[in-house]
Amino acid sequence: MTGNLSAAGVYIRADAAMEVGSTVEFEIALPPEVTGAKENVIIHCKGRVVRSDDPASSSGGGDSRGVACVIDSYDFVRR
């Protein structure tokens, strides 16, 4: 689940532990209400973990933890 999104990175909620420095790949779907397009705009991102909060210090409760990732590269997906 995405908690925060910017041009430089994302802050997400994750059930699994993710080590700082590990590489990640993920897709972001931007809905038509945000982009003005007729359907979701999909962005494929590659990046790395720059911070991983333990579940006790992350807001939101449960076993999930906050993970901050920097986006190193991205491409718009055409389907």
For the chain, the domain total comes to: 1
Q: How far apart are CA 40 and CA 77, in angstroms?
A: 10
Residue 19 banded pLDDT, cuts 50, 70, 90: very high
pLDDT digits (tens, 9 = 90+) for 20-65: 999 999 999 999 999 999 999 999 999 999 999 987 665 555 678 9
- Which pLDDT score is estimated for 57? 61
In a domain, 56, yes or no: no
In a domain, 47, yes or no: yes
- Which pLDDT score is estimated for 46? 97
The two tokens of residue 27 are 């897709």
In a domain, 58, yes or no: no
In a domain, 73, yes or no: yes
In a domain, 60, yes or no: no
Containing structural domain, residue 41: 2-51+65-77
Q: What is the pTM of this model?
A: 0.77
